[in-house]
Chain A
Amino acid sequence: MMIEESQTAAMASHPFLSGLDADSLRLLARCAANLRFPAGAVICRQGEEATHFYLIQHGRVALDLYESRHGSHTIQTLEAGEVLGWSWLVEPYRWQFDARAVELVRAISLDAACLREACDASPVLGYTIVKRLTRVMAQRLTATRLQLMDLYGTRT
């Protein structure tokens, strides 16, 4: 019971889940586990099944895109307070990139199947999660567009 409460409290303190009601947090806590990844650890690989959704609590995660001729390119890093992955929500549930711990990473891991079940069981929770994830995706899309512009290429 104590462990469940502390897990719920940890989840409530993450920006992605902040403001969620206690019932929703308890529902999500059943899918949650606390994980640590040492520096250099691979968290997920492009093409593999997206079995988890991560709430990063500490450390830095690099998202790498692998291309056979040129190897891996880091396209973005994620830090404490951010989330890793939306592939768990979008069929066919496959990671679109590699994720690697640049330094020690602590994260709350949510089991993807369990999370989808929770969202199906509570459409209000499901809609909340989808709305929040969509905001994250929109921010990252905007950031990616800015990166593509090569902003710093011509200013004198």
Chain B
Amino acid sequence: MELVRETDAGRTALDPMLPQLWTIERVRQETHDTFTLELTPGRSSMGTAAGRFLPGQFNMLYVFGVGEVPISISGDPGQPGRLVHTTRAVGMVTRAMRQLKRGGQIGVRGPYGTGWPVAAAQGDDLVLVAGGIGLAPLRSVVYQVLAEREKYGRVVLLFGARSAADLLFRRELEAWRSRFDLDILVTVDRGSADWRGSVGVVTKLIARAPFDPFNATALLCGPEIMMRYTVDELLRRGMPAGQVYLSMERNMKCAIGLCGHCQFGAAFVCQQGPVFPYPAVERLFSAREG
């Protein structure tokens, strides 16, 4: 079986395990432990499809000599020539990633996985519920929705973070908040003297969020227990379960459904996910995994 074939441009068209080279254009520190990488295609990764993705998909990012990790795409799908990834520096690879500088190179495989049902939600109210770093893959949704804002009803973003210092994309949140066509509700788990906003878990925002539960699609991304309680609140408000979508996180290694590390019930999160309709994972959602 032929796994690698060199194309005219020197790209490997068939080997899905071979990363393409992208150049680091910018490293932005978002919070004390979270950063954003902006990447532009290197010579080997140029092409019309370079950087195209659906909101909710992820890439495998490879820090050479260190390792590879799955990171969701947090950029604008309307600007495919520029890949944007936001992540926390919590492990060996992401800590090394944070040390990368402008002009450096990184390996990219992807995009992989399913995206959010942004097109299918047209005509509905859209409720985005994010916890912590879970805002990153939902930012792409906001960009896409804002590009065709007239196709949606009310658009509500509910965002919970650990503290005010941990609020991701703060400047954008403030800009979105100033718009008349977005409802942005933010809460933090731990208050501080300089925080005049809401304190408490993100689930408590659902009761007062302005949307019609019967004509809304909800997209959830955050820790699983947060999503579980968020689903409970959405269902309590009357939203049908089939209109709730979750982004699941498992230990993705190959990202092409071969290694089985990300198995979740009968599904591989890297292929059938990471975005699932709630009914597809409901049974597994609170199951204990050995």
A residues adjacent to B (C-beta < 8 A)? 60, 62, 73-77, 79-81, 102-103, 139, 142-143, 146-147, 149-156
Contact = CB atoms under 8 A, between A and B. Distances in A.
Nearest to B91: A156
Contact of A152 (B91, B162, B198): B162
A62 B199 contact: yes
B225 A146 contact: yes
A156 B229 contact: no
A77 B191 contact: yes
A21 to B, nearest CB: 24
Contacts of A77: 187, 191, 197-200
B260 interface: no
A74 B191 CA distance: 5
Contact of A146 (B161, B192, B203, B249): B203
Contacts of B229: 142, 146
B113 interface: no
A152 B204 contact: no
Interface in B214-264: 222-223, 225-226, 229, 249
Classify the interface of chain B: helix, strand, loop or mixed.
mixed
Contacts of A60: 196, 198
Interface stretch (B19-27, B128-136, B150-158): B128-136
A62 B196 CA distance: 9
B69 interface: yes
Contact of B189 (A79, A151, A154, A156): A151
A152 B166 contact: yes
Given A156-B69, A156-B133, A151 B199 contact: no
Contacts of A79: 198, 208
